[in-house]
Amino acid sequence: MAEILVLVDHADGAVRKPTLELLTLARRLGEPAAVFVGTGSEGAVETLGRFGAQKVYVVDAPEAAEYLVTPSVDALAQIAGTANPAAILVASSFDGKEIAARVAVRLESGLITDAVDVEAGAEGPVTEQSVFAATYQVKAHVTKGTPIITVKPNAATPEEAPATPAVETVSVDFTAGGTKVVSRAPREKSDRPELTEADIVVSGGRGVNGAENFHVIESVADALGAAVGASRAAVDAGWYPHSHQVGQTGTQVSPQLYVAVGISGAIQHRAGMQTSKTIVAINKDEDAPIFDLVDYGVVGDLFKVMPQLEAEINKRK
Ligand X SMILES: Cc1cc2nc3c(=O)[nH]c(=O)nc-3n(C[C@H](O)[C@H](O)[C@H](O)COP(=O)(O)OP(=O)(O)OC[C@H]3O[C@@H](n4cnc5c(N)ncnc54)[C@H](O)[C@@H]3O)c2cc1C
Among 124, 222, 284, 293, binds ligand X (CB under 6 A): 284
Q: Within the chain, what is the greatest distance between any pair of CA atoms?
A: 61
Among 205, 224, 244, 275, binds ligand X (CB under 6 A): 205
Q: Are 48 and 76 in contact (CB under 8 A)?
A: no
Q: Assess 141 for contact with ligand X (CB under 6 A).
A: no
- Residue closest to ligand X, measured at CB: 247
Q: Assess 213 for contact with ligand X (CB under 6 A).
A: no
Q: Are 126 and 140 in contact (CB under 8 A)?
A: yes
* In the complex, least distance from residue 271 CB atom to ligand X, rounded to whole angstroms: 7
- For 148, the enclosing helix (H) or strand (E) is strand 148-151
Residues 217-246 that bind ligand X (CB under 6 A): 231-234, 245-246
Residue 186 is classified by DSSP as: P
Among 34, 76, 77, 263, binds ligand X (CB under 6 A): 263
Of 51 and 239, which has the nearer Cβ to ligand X? 239
Of 36 and 239, which has the nearer Cβ to ligand X? 239
* In the complex, least distance from residue 287 CB atom to ligand X, rounded to whole angstroms: 9
* In the complex, least distance from residue 237 CB atom to ligand X, rounded to whole angstroms: 9
Q: Are 70 and 96 in contact (CB under 8 A)?
A: no
* Residue 240, SS3 per DSSP: coil
Length of the chain: 317
- Quickly count: other Cβ atoms within 10 Å of residue 176's Cβ: 6
CA dist., res. 93 & res. 313, Å (int): 31
What phi and psi, each to the nearest 5 degrees, are found at residue 185? -130, 125
Q: Are 200 and 257 in contact (CB under 8 A)?
A: yes
| Closest of 25, 142, 2, 41 to residue 89, by C-alpha | 25
* In the complex, least distance from residue 311 CB atom to ligand X, rounded to whole angstroms: 17
* In the complex, least distance from residue 270 CB atom to ligand X, rounded to whole angstroms: 9
Among 85, 125, 247, 297, binds ligand X (CB under 6 A): 247
Of 104 and 246, which has the nearer Cβ to ligand X? 246
Among 269, 274, 279, 297, binds ligand X (CB under 6 A): 269
Q: Assess 250 for contact with ligand X (CB under 6 A).
A: yes
Cα 17–280–228 angle (5° rounding)?
50
- For 243, the enclosing helix (H) or strand (E) is none
Of 102 and 269, which has the nearer Cβ to ligand X? 269
Binding site for ligand X (CB under 6 A): 205-207, 231-234, 245-250, 262-264, 266, 268-269, 272, 282-285, 288, 301-303
